[in-house]
A = this chain, B = another copy of it.
Amino acid sequence: MTGPTVTEEVKLGPMADSLGFLLRLSQLESFRDFYTGMEDLGMRPGEFSVLMLIGENPGIRQGVLARKLMIKRAHMTKMVQAMEADGLVTRTVPPEDKRSIELRLSEQGAARLAHMRGPFEEHESRNLSRLSDAELDTLKRLLKTYLDVRE
């Protein structure tokens, strides 16, 4: 009975220095953390971020949200329609530009989000990584610079 091979050494070669490669694996790892910490919330990271951003930006238009989250407009339509069907968000056409749609949290959506906020903050502050808290701060700062996100 030898169990699974212990030496699962995989040489990464040039990939070990590829930013995209490292970001991809890190993102998958962090999403795994997300599910571990917030498993019973019944919401995936993408949906959660959409709901959070609507909460932070009442009246935000669909297209703006889609661009910010790098989600295709067509896909955003489906997501948001599903959220409306679930009673989490409202969609209103503003008179200034009847092509667009403004998004807001419904009372129910706000309540749902409030309920998730605690576990989320906990999840975020629980540093399960091999990084020190200082390193984690540096990492976030560098990512924000990379993304041109200002505080």
Contact = CB atoms under 8 A, between A and B. Distances in A.
Contact of A24 (B12, B45, B121): B45
A interface, by DSSP: helix, strand, loop or mixed?
A: helix
Chain A interface category by residue count: 35 or more
Contacts of A20: 27, 30-31, 33-34, 45
A44 to B, nearest CB: 11
Nearest to A13: B56
Interface in A1-45: 5, 8, 10-31, 33-34, 45
A76 interface: no
A86 interface: no
Interface stretch (A57-65, A77-85, A87-95, A104-112): A57-65
A143 B28 CA distance: 12
A139 B146 contact: yes
Contacts of A145: 129-131, 135
